[in-house]
Amino acid sequence: MAYKIGTITNANGQTAYKNLLYLIRLLCGGFGDIGTVGGSRVGTGALNNFEASPLSVTETWTLTCTAAAVDGGTFSVTGSVSGAQASATVGTPYSNTFVSFTISDGATDFQVGDSFTVPVTQGQLAADGAEWEIMRYTTGSGDHELIMKAPGLSGTEEIFIGLKTYESIPGDYYNYKIGTFSGYVAQNPFETQPNAKIQGCPAHNNAITYFISVNGQRIAACLKVGTPVYEHFYAGKILPYAKPGEYPYPMLNAAMLRTAAATRFSDTNQQFPYHGYRVNESYNALMLRDPGAVYQYCWAHPFSFRGASNSSWILHGSPSQSVMVPAGTDYQLEPIILGSMSILSLWGEIDGIYAISGFNNGVENVLQIGGSSTIDQTGMTVLEAVEAILGVGGRAFVVLQNLNRTTWRDYIAMEMN
């Protein structure tokens, strides 16, 4: 299990949403987290594109200049755990089993003894042995693509998930295509991968605050952009009410737009997907691949009944009829159960996303359940609160709203672990 909470901006010559795609690649791929670069140097060259592979472990890498050269030089490469590796040459892309980088030359040449130190923390998914395989990652001046293969909770599955950027400067939209596939064909474009289901999620070309939860079978994300509004997507398996042989590939593609539409984040017709089809039949974009390999709309407990969007007894129904409220300050999470619109069947539960009451609640609140002590979150950021709750053995849930909506039924809780 892995999570990331933070804000990403335009940097490295890329817009924020393309940088976020890179971050998703690192997170899902189980790449190591890079800490603050240290060391001491006379030379003014830079350490660029440092990446810790999914095989990296938690350690500090030390790069030390062992031979100076005009507009160049040689650096030893040593991991505090992995030991000495092959040396690196200034100006030449370098990689070993664990890390890759390029040391660039500067106006002042490196001298013997100059050093970089780079702390690396093993990727969360890699530590669990649940890292995803990166099948395709393309960058450049056009759209960026990322297609990955997740191992499932069993570690033996093949779950194909992709994201692709699409944008329009005159249309002022910078969005993702959310893709779920049944396989991967290297020669095929993103849109024609096997059994492709592609929907859309608006993002932004400016700062994006992101809340992402990943495990071996799915990614769930919420992006805070613009005014702000909260954009959601979920791609991957649900927890099916069936044996693997009965329902081997319960893929959910849940997003804000039913297609890769030319829609800006500010469009208020969008709905988060978790209400299911009944609550907003015109715009809901929650699509589940059924056992017959057909993507279907679903009704979703506790937001609706199978046959009605509003009733006095739907747990998270219309506030004018009935909606859950907490017992005192104790919020009651409800799993989101997906049911078929066409046959009598309950497919399963969404993994890691729960319905939560918006009564006396607010977006980006962090709910604690369990733990050896109750965390006083005063003054904490969302990330700090999550880390503190996990630190005492509790479960941490970030409360997130439906786009710009704030009624009692317009919130979900995303578990971070």
Partner 1 sequence: MAHVSGTANSFADLKTSFENACVANGWTLADGILYKGNVHIKFTAATGYLRMDCGTGKSGASLTGGHTYGVMMHNPTFNPITFPVNYEAHIFADPDEVYLMMNYNTEYYQHLNFGQSDVPGITGSGIWFTGHARHDMGYTSSGGALIYIGAADTYLGTACYNGSDVGLFVNGNAGSFQSSFLHCTLDGVTSWRTQQTNSTPTAGMLAPLNWAASLLYSIPNDFNGGNLLVPVRAIACRNNNGLTIAAQMKNARLLRLDNLNSGDIITFGTDEWKVYPWHRRNATQRDGVNWSNGATHSGTFGFAFRYTGV
Nearer to partner 1, 258 or 306 (CB): 306
Collect all residues with Cβ–Cβ distance below 8 Å to 223 and sequence separation of at least 6.
20, 201, 203, 204, 208, 209, 210, 211, 230, 231, 232
CA distance 246 to 346: 13
CA distance 218 to 200: 17
Q: Report how far apart, in Å, the C-alpha atoms of 198 and of each of 191, 211, 378, 398 are.
A: 7, 21, 41, 26
Three-state SS at 45: coil
Q: Is 312 in the site for partner 1 (CB under 8 A)?
A: yes
Binding range to partner 1, per CB under 8 A, among 23-31, 217-225, 254-262, 299-307: 299-307
Establish if 321 lies at the interface with partner 1 (CB under 8 A). yes
Per the structure block, which two tokens stand in for 272?
Answer: 């988060």
Site for partner 1 in 228-267 (CB under 8 A): 241-243, 246-247
81 versus 308: smaller Cβ distance to partner 1: 308
Q: How long, in residues, is the chain?
A: 417
State which of residues 24, 118, 260, 323 lies at the interface with partner 1 (CB under 8 A). 323
Exactly one of 17, 249, 299, 397 binds partner 1 (CB under 8 A); that residue is 299
Nearer to partner 1, 93 or 370 (CB): 370
From 54-62, 134-142, 314-322, 382-390, span contacting partner 1 (CB under 8 A):
314-322
Burial class (CB within 10 angstroms; exposed 0-12, middle 13-18, buried 19+) of 405: middle
Contact string (CB under 8 A) for partner 1, positions 325-364, x = contact: xxxxxx-x----x-xx--xxxx------------x-----
Residue with tokens 């607010």: 362
74 contributes a contact to partner 1 by CB under 8 A:
no
Counting residues that bind partner 1 (by CB under 8 A) gives 41
Q: Which is nearer to partner 1, 321 or 406 (CB)?
A: 321
Map the footprint of partner 1 across residues 359-398, applying CB under 8 A.
359
Binding partner 1 (rule: CB under 8 A), the pick from 107, 154, 227, 313 is: 313
Distance CA 98, CA 33 (A): 12
Nearer to partner 1, 3 or 331 (CB): 331
Taking CB under 8 A as the binding criterion, the range among 10-18, 190-198, 264-272, 308-316 that sits at the site for partner 1 is 308-316
Q: How far is CA 22 from CA 104, 139, 164, 204, in A?
A: 22, 9, 11, 15
CB atoms within 10 A of CB 206: 13
Query: Could you say which of 314, 366, 367, 398 contacts partner 1 (CB under 8 A)?
Result: 314
Of the candidates 341, 313, 329, which has an alpha carbon nearest to the alpha carbon of residue 365? 329
Q: How far apart are CA 46 and CA 42, in angstroms?
A: 11
Give the separation between CA 252 and CA 104, rounded to whole angstroms.
Answer: 44
Q: Which of the ranges 38-46, 84-92, 115-123, 302-310 carries the binding residues for partner 1, by CB under 8 A? A: 302-310
How far apart are alpha carbons 414 and 412 in whole angstroms?
A: 6
Residues in the site for partner 1, rule: CB under 8 A?
A: 241-243, 246-247, 290-291, 299, 301-302, 304-308, 311-315, 319-330, 332, 337, 339-340, 343-346, 359
